[in-house]
Amino acid sequence: MKRIRFFFFLAIVYCILGPVLLFLETHLSGKAALEQALPIALLSVFFFAYSLASLTVFHKLLRNNGKSLTTYYLADKTFRLLLCMTILAVYGFLIQTSLLLFAINLFTLYLATMIMTSFHCIREENKIKENKQ
């Protein structure tokens, strides 16, 4: 139940962050920023889906004694970073417009995801450690 609450909270963060990004970009760069509405929505869905899958594996490893948890945690964060860099490169090669705005959106959503998932993982690990003592 607590995982569902966290995923609901994560979805709310993405739902709030998307319009805020779009508003700020429209205010700063004009109507050209409206082209970023679809990429913001797609990035939000991508980050939510990836976080859902990643944290599901994390919780399974946590239940199974968590011996390889540190390795998984590091691999997951590295893979997420490489995936973001790949998305940015593909966007740059294919679309070639508003690359700076897209990069700002990608970085903001990436940072929000990293903070939220790291906080959640640390909190869950601390709960397990407290229960063992």
- pLDDT over threshold 90, residue 84: yes
The count of structural domains within the chain is 1
- pLDDT over threshold 90, residue 89: yes
pTM here is 0.89
- pLDDT over threshold 70, residue 67: yes
Average pLDDT over residues 95-105: 89
Q: Could you count the other beta carbons within 10 Å of the beta carbon of residue 25?
A: 22
pLDDT in tens, 23-59: 999 998 888 788 888 999 999 999 999 999 999 999 8
- pLDDT over threshold 70, residue 123: yes
What is the DSSP track for 78-122? Answer: HHHHHHHHHHHHHHHHHT-SSHHHHHHHHHHHHHHHHHHHHHHHH
Q: What percentage of residues in the chain have a pLDDT greater than 90?
A: 59
Range of the domain at 92: 2-132
- pLDDT over threshold 80, residue 20: yes
